[in-house]
Amino acid sequence: MSARAGIAITGTEVLSGRVRDANGPWLSDRLLELGVELAHVTICGDRPADLEAQLRFMAHDGMELVMTSGGLGPTADDLTLEVVARFTGRPLALDTGLEQRIGEILRPLTARWPGLDAEALRSANRKQALVPAGATVLEPVGTAPGMVVPPSAGLPAIVVLPGPPRELQAMWPAAIATELFRAVIGRGADFGVSTLRLFGIPESEIVATLRLAEASIEGLDALEVTTCLRRGEVEVVVRHEPDSRSAWEALGDLIAQRHADTLFSRDGSTVDEQVAGMLGEGERTIAIAESCTGGLMAARLTDRPGASGYVLGGLVAYADEVKAGLLDVDPGLIERHGAVSPQAARAMALGALQRCGADVALAITGVAGPGGGGEEKPVGTVCWCGLAGDGAELELRMVLPGDRAEIRDRSTTVGMHLLRRLLRGEPGPRA
């Protein structure tokens, strides 16, 4: 039985919905990888009584591990450590070495502002160097250190982390490497996690394969296997100790054998990473032509740093007359087959390929709704076409479920998978 854990997110901006919390979902994923069972996520504002009530609730409901995020800054409303110290009965004491290290981080930042009040600065610096008795310090990534506070009678271990996602994520490896953390989750350092990803398959088919694996693979019960759906893909996450390696490999082989045409990642890589890798390493350039996605496909491909190495450009041909002007789509073709048709998608892809002088092109045209749907082409009807300069070509037509935003988003995921298969010289994904 694995440890039960909770996550407490603090910050008035997050509670009010002004800032979208990125830390809860990110920490959820990390806990899943570690095989820790997440039971509660809570969000409160910058009010000490509310955070303390949430910690008390988590302890009362049997959490053995609680992560907090936020409230570690130098200002008066950054109260997390004070609350944690009071809640755990561990008085705060100044760590002078830490105070000095924070001071050194601050020096170049403050040198730019000669007018700053030196005393106020010193006191802010000192506030961030206060450590609850018995806690392990996690060195600052920004200016705020994190803490791992040991469990005590009836109370969970508390991992205190900063609010900015970049700082929290950079500090996480140090947190899980602490002896305290390892002891709570009851795992050695050599425990591993692997993720398989599949596309174009219902989750139930994977569940059936896992049942088959239970009956046929020896030692499978030493693995912890979780499946979940994410943006139309199925993820299979497996936690394994060194001595269960052969069972894990047998499971991976079974899935690869039964689901060869839908398994696209055995090493945890995402389809976006794979497409970017194939374009970048193959020195192949890409152009995009899109209608219903309105720029989202190009935006997704340029989301990654370094995208300028292979993305040449995109054409958002939203109006039909612009499909002719920007992409050389024959207006007669649209008249005959409609703007949402395999023929239009192919003409758009060809236009983008030629106009941008790219090696590969992807086109998407569809009915995102809520209006514009018909008997023959209901809302959600989308056509994709991928073309390569060497003559390779893939086409797909599907009716996607969901509302306008979901149809637009899912269209880019299908587009990524079409691209991946085109770049690998494989047949298209299942409709």
User: Rule CB under 8 A: is residue 73 a binding residue for its own copies?
Assistant: no
Q: Is 191 in the site for its own copies (CB under 8 A)?
A: no
- Burial (CB count within 10 angstroms: exposed 0-12, middle 13-18, buried 19+), residue 174: middle
Q: Select the span of 200-208, 268-276, 294-302, 389-397 touching its own copies (CB under 8 A).
A: 294-302
Say which residue the tokens 């009040």 belong to: 117
CB of 154 to its own copies, least distance (A): 16
Angstrom distance (rounded) from CA 412 to CA 362: 10
Residue (129 or 416) nearer to its own copies, CB? 416
Contact between 277 and its own copies by CB under 8 A: the answer reads: no
Instruction: State phi, psi for 117 to the nearest 5 degrees.
Output: -75, 110
152 near its own copies, rule: CB under 8 A = no
Dihedral sign for Cα atoms in the order 405, 409, 414, 415:
positive
Q: Is 272 in the site for its own copies (CB under 8 A)?
A: no
Lay out the site mask for its own copies across 225-244 (x = CB under 8 A, - = otherwise): ---xxx--------------
- DSSP annotation of 155 reads B
The residue from 50, 203, 261, 272 that contacts its own copies (CB under 8 A) is 50
Nearer to its own copies, 316 or 392 (CB): 316
Q: Among residue numbers 340 through 399, which ones bind its own copies (CB under 8 A)?
A: 355-357, 369-372
Q: Does 121 bind its own copies (CB under 8 A)?
A: no
CA distance 357 to 299: 19
Cβ pair 378, 386 in contact under 8 A = no
Residue among 375, 420, 421, 415 at smallest CA distance from 398:
415
Answer for which of 138, 157, 217, 326 binds its own copies (CB under 8 A) is 326
Bridge-partner residues for 220, per DSSP?
Answer: none
By CB under 8 A, tell whether 83 contacts its own copies: no
Contact flags string 10-49 toward its own copies, x per CB under 8 A: ---x-xxxx-x---xxx-xx--x-----xxxxxxxx-x--
As given in the structure block, the two tokens for residue 90 are 């561990």
CB of 338 to its own copies, least distance (A): 14
Query: Residue 256's CB: how many other CB atoms inside 10 A?
Result: 12
